[in-house]
Amino acid sequence: METYLLDWANLLVRWLHVIVAIAWIGSSFYFVFLDSSLTPPEDEQLKKDGVSGELWALHGGGFYHPVKFSGAPPKLPQHLHWFYWESYSTWLSGFALFLISYLWSPSVYLIDPRIMEWSPAGAIAAALAFLVVFWLLYDAICRTLGQSKNGDAKVGALVLVLVCIAAYAATQMFAGRAAFLIVGAMLATTMSANVFFWIIPGQRTVVADIQAGRPIDPIHGKRGKQRSVHNTYFTLPVLFAMLSNHYSFTYTHPQNWLILISMMFAGAAIRQFFVMRHGFKLGRNAHPWPYAAVGVVVLLALIVWLRPAPVANVAMPETVSYAQLKPVIEQRCVMCHGEALQSKGVRLDQPAAVQQHAQMIYQQVVLMKAMPLNNATGLTDAERALFAQWFLAGGKTE
């Protein structure tokens, strides 16, 4: 019953997490586009009101005319929309999912004895430490160098180094699948912390100053813009890390840390292309195609590098019966998919259930090599070939 309830919790929280993440990322991408696409106002009244940029857009059968004030608007509206619950709900649901999927069973999901054999409590503490320590170091870098000469370049270079160190360290401490997720959660925590500790407090200070008639300190806008830009570059790397658990050829590779760094770098480069593309259309910068090209080249290089090596021919019978496969299932699979523990609601200690899940077994065991998780039971390539032969022969248990 516990496994069944955990599966429902995993499903519902994951559903919620995806929904609110779409809302957050969508609004983030829109405002980056909006800020990059603003042009100086043409209307004299807008200029007098302090508008620094405007945009005309057509969507959903209507015309939209958003404007941006460089300082305080002539009058604060009664209703002012704040963009923060998208961020907070994404982090809260993501952390809940991390708790249900990984921290609840650290011995299964976090720990790979072949990499590091340690206590569940130690693994949990270390995983949480990645989230906290990275934020503290990143925040210190931003506060120290963010407003200095060439501050953006300095911060970007140091954060890149920090991410590389974290990616390497995580893959040397945790199971590959968990390591990728932890690095993604680390960046996502930093994104939400930017909103919680800097962007929203700065905006609240600006609004309070306007209401009190005090002069506005421009540092709040500059700092908020800087952290918001950082967030947009983190987005594609985070999305890859969250999706990577479906693709075991990435996180099970001996150099998985390099794959993680390369994929994140490619994502950030491609995001830079889209960010600068808006400015190119208005003649503010050169065409940013080199950034997209770099990202694509990195992806193509990974595809070539990770291509499957030729498999040596293994003497196998033309067909494999269930009777031949059953001992392998009992030794490698039943401990997690038996009567006592039916992980993901799958039970493999009964012939009818094995036949029912034949295609899924083939996908998870042969094609993706995702099962057994972290290959905890030591399934060999020859045994995977048995599964393949059995499935291709019809996957029957009669």
Give pLDDT, residue 119: 94
For every residue of 340-388, which 3-state class applies, written as one string?
A: CCEHHHCCCCCHHHHHHCHHHHHHHHHHCCCCCHHHCCCCCHHHHHHHH
Q: What global pTM score does this model have? A: 0.85
Given this model, what pLDDT does residue 163 score? 97
pLDDT digits (tens, 9 = 90+) for 138-192: 999 999 998 888 888 999 999 999 999 999 999 999 999 999 999 999 999 999 9
pLDDT at 340: 67
Please determine, for residue 94, whether its predicted confidence score (pLDDT) is greater than 90. yes
Identify whether the C-beta of residue 50 lies closer than 8 Å to the C-beta of residue 72. Answer: yes
Query: What pLDDT band is residue 193 in, cutting at 50, 70 and 90?
Result: very high
Alpha helices (H) along 195-318: 200-212, 219-243, 248-251, 256-281, 289-305
**Residues whose CB is less than 8 angstroms from the CB of residue 336 and which lie 6 or more positions away in sequence, other chains included:** 343, 372, 373
- In the structure encoding, which two tokens stand for residue 125, read together? 């503490």
User: How confident is the prediction for the chain on average, in pLDDT?
Assistant: 89
Cβ-based neighbours of 236, under 8 Å, separated by 6 or more: 264, 267, 268, 270, 271
With a pLDDT cut of 90, the percent of the chain lying above it is: 59
Predicted pLDDT of residue 39? 94
Instruction: Give the distance between the most distant pair of CA atoms in the chain.
Output: 85
pLDDT, position 315 = 56
Which pLDDT score, from 0 to 100, does residue 311 have? 56
pLDDT in tens, 100-152: 989 988 988 899 888 998 999 999 999 999 999 999 999 999 999 988 888 88
Q: What is the pLDDT of residues 305-346, one digit of tens each?
A: 998 776 555 555 567 888 888 888 888 887 778 766 667 677
The pLDDT score that the predictor gives to residue 358 is 84
Domain ranges of the chain: 2-305, 322-392
pLDDT attached to residue 317: 56
